[in-house]
């Protein structure tokens, strides 16, 4: 039973990682860039939905607030992701590999500090230097649902539902829409894609935006799961989501989804089953990351052979 | 520097007028030093007097007088001396730009420190206006070609004299900057220093200095070491600055180790602080104090070597994936290792694992070192000057830094160092040429880690306590930033980078809240505009190929500031 419960908890955690991981993998698939600051996009998404909730008068907690908050989070994270791409990554597109990685660290530190220092300065907003309590929206938070001896948390249901909906939309978007096909073409061969009349710069921006939309959903879900958010939440979550993307095969969207779920379940099992699991769970996650990178860098679904000199 | 220029025809026409205006502006700036700049005495170093310039104002006076001097020289010796071309106008333009920046900074500092621009007195406005007009006027001057002062044959005694002067100036700059408790004065002084260096660079004097001192490398190094050694004696027994200086040295020694891994071998390491941390923890565990978790207390020399070896072993472990992984993936692996180190140190507290580190509380009270009867915790009096606790550690850290620099430069100029550079430039080609790629990569990780581990063992005693919180990812990124901002693969650049990154937060307490944010911004801006760092490592190529005239010519041209992009392409790819 403990194992089953751990698997259920792991699925919700995994769905979260999967949603973030898509952002890494989409961008990587197109320009072979590890957007190290994607964890911060996730964090900004969470703060974006928090902001919208604060702006709506009367501290509304009805379920109808949820879509409004999600949209707010998406607007914030997409704006940040696009700005990041324009200011920090686009000028460095032809520079050595080291450069964008260092810029990404800079962007990451900057965004964390910016939120930490200035979020609380807005009148009526809580101080973001410590944890910020996230609103408990009715229906998706509250007492867990009992199902045959298993406790299923309400945020889990939301997160899994969000993952399923996002997967369907992502599938339709990537395979059926013109833009999606253009993304696939760019990822296969940017130069030829450009010759075929695809605006590669625009495709790259769309890739950043798609990742940001999913990250915003994940940010909101995280807020409801932990009942609070903080400016540091993006670092560890981003790192684990990156592990998920690599585990699934970076560049492969479906791989990111699978990888996210696998990492989530593994982490949850490690917490429950291994001795002193909760203290060491992050260590196990990183050990898994290292082992995958060393022994199977192409990931589970093996999108492309990684040859990165 | 690359502002859209004014057409040469217009410059020719108005050049004479512009010269007169520039000279006048320089004189006015110099004169403004005798006027009051602020209404309150708390801004800068009290710039309220009429007729009695403060130190900050004196520097403005000096710089103001140099501007007309440069213009007059450009009229008197337009072609330089003989076949040596001097960048008179280049220097004047840099100086005018610099003076404008200086006066903006000064006006800003006064208004921040006293609360509002209302507190700026007429002297500063006069200076600012003159600097602005001077800046515009110098844009109308036609600048000469790239200076060739560095080709001047310099007699030996003059080079050594130059080295002595440079070293004394550096000692004074370090002394004065550290002595400032007023952040406004500190910032202004740093800007002055930057402008001074820029003017030297543009006139060609810096090129001459580099060439002259390069010929006497040993003397230069010895002099630098001597100056650093003398530094504690300028502090008059105060230990406050020495504590900062000791931290700077720890940081610099560690950054130097990272420089081997990133700068020479081109392997990005995002978890480097773990090596410093492991050294510190080993030393703390063996320190023999009440909190130490091992009941063994070897002499410090043994502990030091052991710390280095433990760190080097970790380096081998972290380096071993390089057999299969490179590039971004390797960076992520090192980052993961860094996190594993931090988490493990937090968990080895007795409840979640064996009690080695006391978890997040860390090991405190590591005690002071006592080497050959010299007690590092006590104050000693040498030549009538008191040398405090941190000054004692400063000396041992300085010796260690010297050893690190020696190891670094010896490795760099050896077969191993050339192998590393070959791997960095093109791994496949290096392998085809018979370079032992995997072995050398491991060696880079192990030797870099060893240097950091030893630094960590000293740091454990300097800091008195060792906690996992001091060895987090942010510290790793600070180290990386020091290497990248200073100039990867260079000694001087990394030293400058480490000093700036460690000194700034200490002296800029008023922006302490914002310093991380500025740090993030700085990384982005630096990567965008000068990814090769403050000191470009391409300069080193000249040392290797000093008989190759053509390369020397090309590099010489590349070293001009407007062609930074070309230098990047070659340097960091």
Residues 251-270 of B with CB under 8 A from A: 266, 268, 270
Query: Would you say domain B236-361+387-534 falls under CATH 3.40.50?
Result: no
- Three-class secondary structure of residue B98 per DSSP: helix
Q: Do B524 and A103 touch (CB under 8 A)?
A: yes
Q: Which of B437, B415, B376, B398 is nearest to B256 (CA)?
A: B398
Q: Do B528 and A91 touch (CB under 8 A)?
A: yes
| Any A CB within 8 A of B513 CB | yes
Q: How far apart are CA A75 and CA A67, in angstroms?
A: 12
A120 neighbourhood in chain B, CB within 8 Å: none
Residues 224-253 of A with CB under 8 A from B: 235, 239, 242, 246
A38-65 pLDDT tens trace? 999 999 999 999 888 888 887 777 778 8
Q: Do A109 and B480 touch (CB under 8 A)?
A: no
- Three-class secondary structure of residue B570 per DSSP: helix
Choose among A34, A105, A294: nearest Cβ to B328.
Answer: A34
A152 or B512, which is more confident? Answer: A152
B468-520 pLDDT tens trace? 888 888 888 888 888 888 877 778 788 888 888 887 777 666 666 777 888 78
Q: Do A109 and B477 touch (CB under 8 A)?
A: yes
Segment A230-252 mean pLDDT: 84
Q: Do A106 and B516 touch (CB under 8 A)?
A: no
Q: How far apart are CA B536 and CA B569, in angstroms?
A: 12
Q: Do A308 and B328 touch (CB under 8 A)?
A: yes
Write down the pLDDT at residue B542: 43
DSSP 8-state secondary structure symbol assigned to residue B286: T
Chain B residue with CA closest to A115: the answer is: B517
Choose among B353, B481, B520: nearest Cβ to A110.
Answer: B520
DSSP 8-state secondary structure symbol assigned to residue B123: H
Write down the pLDDT at residue B511: 65
**Is there a contact between A19 and A166 (Cβ–Cβ < 8 Å)?**
yes
Choose among A97, A235, A279: nearest Cβ to B328.
Answer: A97
B567 neighbourhood in chain A, CB within 8 Å: none
| Any B CB within 8 A of A291 CB | no
Q: Residue B57 belongs to what H/E stretch?
A: helix B55-76
Chain A residue with CA closest to B338: the answer is: A286
Q: What are phi and psi of A147, to 5 degrees?
A: -140, 100
Q: How far apart are CA A94 and CA A190, in angstroms?
A: 13
Residue B397 gets the label, from left (phi > 0), alpha (psi -120 to 50) or beta, of: alpha
Q: Do A109 and B268 touch (CB under 8 A)?
A: no
- Counted across chains A and B, CB pairs separated by less than 8 A come out at 136
Write down the pLDDT at residue B571: 39
The residue ranges of every structural domain in chain B are: 8-228, 236-361+387-534, 538-573
Segment A97-109 mean pLDDT: 83
Q: How far is B70 from chain A (nearest CA, A)?
A: 37
Q: How far is A236 from chain B (nearest CA, A)?
A: 9
A84 neighbourhood in chain B, CB within 8 Å: none
Q: Encoding tokens for residue A159?
A: 């997160």
A269-284 pLDDT tens trace? 888 777 776 777 788 8
Residue A191 CA to its chain's centroid (Å): 29
**Is there a contact between B535 and B493 (Cβ–Cβ < 8 Å)?**
yes
| Any B CB within 8 A of A305 CB | no
Q: How far apart are CA B107 and CA B558, in angstroms?
A: 36
Q: How far apart are CA B542 and CA B548, in angstroms?
A: 8
DSSP 8-state secondary structure symbol assigned to residue B514: G
> Position of tokens 């590669």?
A200
B185-232 pLDDT tens trace? 888 888 888 888 888 877 777 777 777 776 777 777 788 788 888 777
| Any B CB within 8 A of A284 CB | no
Q: Do B329 and A293 touch (CB under 8 A)?
A: yes
Residues 519-548 of B with CB under 8 A from A: 519-524, 527-528, 531
B437 neighbourhood in chain A, CB within 8 Å: none
Q: For residue A308, is pLDDT > 70?
A: no
Chain B residue with CA closest to A281: the answer is: B343
Write down the pLDDT at residue B85: 75
Most A-contacting residue of B520, B564, B567, B573 (CB-CB within 10 A), to test interface: B520
A241 neighbourhood in chain B, CB within 8 Å: none
Long-range CB contacts for residues B516-519, cutoff 8 Å, separation at least 24: B516/A109, B516/A112, B516/A113, B516/B474, B517/A109, B517/A110, B517/A113, B517/A114, B517/A117, B519/A106, B519/A109, B519/B478, B519/B481
Q: What is the mean pLDDT of each run of 10 residues along chain B (573 residues)?
A: 63 80 86 81 74 79 85 78 76 86 85 78 84 85 73 74 81 78 80 85 77 73 80 72 84 90 84 90 79 72 88 89 75 85 80 70 71 69 71 85 88 87 84 87 91 90 82 84 80 83 72 77 79 59 46 53 38 37
Q: For residue A309, is pLDDT > 50?
A: no
Q: What is the pTM of this model?
A: 0.77
| Mean model confidence pLDDT for chain B | 78
Q: Do B517 and A110 touch (CB under 8 A)?
A: yes
Segment A179-200 mean pLDDT: 88
């Amino acid at each position: 039973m403990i194992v089953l419960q751990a698997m259920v908890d792991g699925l919700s955690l995994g769905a979260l990682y999967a949603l973030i991981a898509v952002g890494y993998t989409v961008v990587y698939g197109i320009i072979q860039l590890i957007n190290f600051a994607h964890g911060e996009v996730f964090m900004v998404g969470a703060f974006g939905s928090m902001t919208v909730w604060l702006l709506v008068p009367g501290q509304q907690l009805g379920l109808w607030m949820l879509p409004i908050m999600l949209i707010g989070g998406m607007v914030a994270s997409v704006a940040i992701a696009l700005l990041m791409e324009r200011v920090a990554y686009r000028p460095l597109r032809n520079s050595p590999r080291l450069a964008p990685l260092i810029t990404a660290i800079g962007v990451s530190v900057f965004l964390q500090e910016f939120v930490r220092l200035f979020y609380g300065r807005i009148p009526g907003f809580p101080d973001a230097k410590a944890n910020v309590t996230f609103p408990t929206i009715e229906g998706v938070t509250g007492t867990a649902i009992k199902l045959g001896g298993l406790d299923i948390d309400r945020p889990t249901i939301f997160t899994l539902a969000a993952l399923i909906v996002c997967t369907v939309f992502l599938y339709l978007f990537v395979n059926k829409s013109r833009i999606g096909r253009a993304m696939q073409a760019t990822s296969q061969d940017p130069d030829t894609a450009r010759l075929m009349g695809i605006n590669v710069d625009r495709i790259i921006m769309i890739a950043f935006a798609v990742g940001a939309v999913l990250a915003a959903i994940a940010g909101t879900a995280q807020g409801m799961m932990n009942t609070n958010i903080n400016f540091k939440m993006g670092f560890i979550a981003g790192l684990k989501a990156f592990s998920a993307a690599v585990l699934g095969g970076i560049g492969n969207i479906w791989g990111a989804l699978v990888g996210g779920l696998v990492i989530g379940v593994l982490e949850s099992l490690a917490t429950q089953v291994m001795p002193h699991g909760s203290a060491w769970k992050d260590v196990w996650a990183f050990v898994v990351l290292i082992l995958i990178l060393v022994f199977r860098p192409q990931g589970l679904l093996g999108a492309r052979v990684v040859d990165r000199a | 520097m690359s502002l859209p220029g004014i057409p040469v025809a217009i410059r020719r026409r108005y050049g004479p007028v512009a010269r007169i205006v520039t000279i006048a502006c320089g004189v006015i700036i110099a004169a403004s030093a005798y006027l009051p700049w602020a209404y309150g005495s708390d801004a800068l170093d009290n710039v309220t007097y009429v007729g009695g310039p403060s130190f900050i104002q004196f520097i403005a006076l000096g710089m103001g007088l140099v501007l007309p001097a440069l213009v007059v020289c450009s009229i008197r010796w337009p072609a330089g001396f003989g076949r040596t071309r001097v960048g008179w106008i280049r220097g004047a333009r840099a100086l005018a730009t610099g003076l404008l920046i200086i006066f903006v900074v000064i006006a800003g500092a006064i208004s921040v420190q006293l609360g509002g621009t209302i507190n700026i007195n007429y002297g500063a406005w006069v200076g600012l206006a003159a600097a602005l007009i001077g800046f515009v006027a110098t844009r109308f001057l036609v600048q000469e070609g790239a200076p060739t002062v560095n080709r001047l044959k310099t007699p030996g005694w003059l080079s050594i004299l130059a080295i002595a002067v440079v070293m004394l100036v550096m000692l004074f700059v370090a002394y004065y900057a550290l002595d400032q408790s007023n952040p406004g004065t500190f910032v202004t002084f740093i800007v002055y220093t930057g402008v001074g260096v820029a003017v030297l660079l543009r006139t060609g004097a810096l090129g001459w200095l580099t060439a002259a001192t390069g010929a006497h490398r040993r003397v230069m190094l010895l002099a630098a070491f001597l100056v650093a050694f003398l530094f504690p004696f300028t502090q008059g027994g105060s230990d406050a600055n020495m504590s900062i200086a000791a931290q700077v040295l720890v940081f610099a020694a560690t950054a130097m180790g990272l420089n081997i891994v990133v700068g020479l071998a081109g392997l990005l390491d995002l978890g480097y602080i773990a090596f410093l941390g492991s050294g510190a923890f080993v030393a703390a565990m063996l320190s023999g104090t009440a909190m130490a978790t091992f009941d063994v207390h070897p002499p410090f020399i043994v502990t030091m070597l052991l710390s280095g070896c433990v760190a080097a072993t970790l380096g081998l472990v972290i380096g071993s994936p390089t057999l299969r992984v490179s590039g971004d993936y390797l960076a992520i692996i090192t980052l993961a290792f860094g996190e594993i180190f931090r988490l493990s140190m937090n968990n080895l507290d007795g409840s979640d694992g064996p009690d080695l580190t006391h978890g997040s509380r860390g090991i405190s009270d590591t005690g002071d070192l006592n080497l050959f009867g010299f007690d590092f915790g006590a104050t000693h009096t040498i030549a009538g000057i008191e040398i405090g606790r941190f000054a004692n550690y400063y000396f041992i850290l300085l010796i260690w830094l010297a050893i690190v620099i020696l190891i670094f430069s010896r490795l760099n100029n050896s077969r191993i160092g050339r192998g590393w550079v070959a791997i960095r430039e093109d791994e496949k080609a290096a392998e085809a040429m018979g370079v032992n790629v995997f072995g050398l990569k491991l060696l880079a990780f192990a030797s870099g880690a060893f240097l950091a581990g030893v630094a960590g063992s000293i740091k454990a005693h300097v800091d008195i306590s060792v906690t996992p919180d001091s060895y987090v990812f942010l510290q790793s990124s600070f180290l990386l930033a020091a290497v990248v901002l200073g100039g990867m693969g260079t000694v001087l650049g990394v030293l400058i980078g480490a000093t700036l990154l460690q000194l700034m937060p200490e002296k800029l307490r008023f922006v302490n809240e914002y310093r991380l944010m500025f740090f993030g911004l700085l990384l982005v801006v630096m990567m965008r505009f000068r990814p090769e760092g403050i000191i470009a490592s391409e300069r080193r190529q000249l040392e290797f190929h000093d008989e190759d005239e053509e390369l020397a010519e090309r590099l010489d041209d590349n070293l001009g500031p407007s062609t930074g992009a070309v230098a990047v392409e070659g340097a960091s790819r």
